[in-house]
Chains A and B, each alone.
Chain A
Amino acid sequence: MLSKKEKELIADIWESLTPVAEDIGADALLRMFASYPGTKTYFSHLDISPRSAHLLSHGKKIVLAIAEGAQDIGQLTVTLAPLQTLHAYQLRIDPTNFKLFSHCMLVALACHMGEDFTPVAHAAMDKYLSAFAAVLSEKYR
């Protein structure tokens, strides 16, 4: 459950990160590949070496989608409808991987924001990313 304050905090953080979307996104992805090598299996068709064009563009896509959702969290199911279909019918990424990615996104945020990634911000962000992942997997079955 996200309070009004938390929703505002989340929206603010993601808005401030939009200019560095590809760096944050690529960083989170690389961390996930390093810690959880099984996740690389979903990217065998791309070049996911550090700073590769594929990695940066993919990281950017993901962060921008998360940022867009953050602007109106109450409407996540509407905002994410096309991505729900994509993940359920085409990508079919096992949803346990969303947890792994979310964790690595939190670490990327911690590295980027340092002290500003307070426990309160961390809690709000963790809740938001969990909600995001849950909505994303809604059409799976």
Chain B
Amino acid sequence: MVEWTNYERATIKDIFAKLDYDSVGPAALSRCLVVYPWTQRYFSKFGNLYNAAAIMGNPNVAKHGKIILHDLERGVKNMDNLKETYADLSVLHSEKLHVDPDNFKLISDCLTIVVAAQMGKAFTGEVQAALQKFLAAVVSALGRQYH
């Protein structure tokens, strides 16, 4: 189990309290599809992903981005029990969606960058480290049920 300091708990809750889920989720997912185009392989049913503009304006991408962020919120509310919190999603991504777990790190890096751009100077090195630790723990939980 991951050990969290008081600073980390407070910082994670603070970051997510200030996020506009409906814009950050879509921004992170669409950024991932632009920066790491091979991730588009999992979204062939989403319609037009032909170029950056198409991706950023794609309503299916936006919808899915919001879902992802709301699912991340579950982790924020259950930081001491991430493995169980994400067990079902882990099975889904492995058995049904067949997503290479290395991709989880890619989207989490994109989310970090989106949050950084929003928070500007307030996104200090310490805040970044806390967010990255949380996202790494979520990524690990999501990979747990793969076999």
- Chain A residues in contact with chain B, CB under 8 A? 27, 30-31, 33-35, 103-104, 106-107, 110-111, 113-115, 117, 119-120, 122-123, 126
Contact = CB atoms under 8 A, between A and B. Distances in A.
A123 B35 contact: yes
Residues of A contacting B: mostly: helix
Of B52, B109, B116, B129, which is in contact with the most chain A CB atoms at under 10 Å from its CB? B116
B130 to A, nearest CB: 9
A122 B125 contact: no
List the 7 closest pairs (A to B, CB-CB), nearest first: A34-B125, A110-B116, A119-B34, A31-B125, A110-B117, A123-B35, A35-B129
Interface of B: 30-31, 34-35, 52, 55-56, 109-110, 112-114, 116-121, 123-126, 128-129, 132
A107 B123 CA distance: 9
B76 to A, nearest CB: 19
A115 B24 CA distance: 12
B35 A107 contact: no
A134 B123 CA distance: 29
A113 B56 contact: no
A30 to B, nearest CB: 5
Contacts of A119: 30-31, 34-35, 52, 55-56
Contacts of B114: 110
Contacts of A110: 113-114, 116-117
Given A111-B119, A120-B52, A122-B35, A106 B113 contact: yes
Given A111-B116, A111-B121, A111-B123, A120 B34 contact: yes
A30 B125 contact: yes
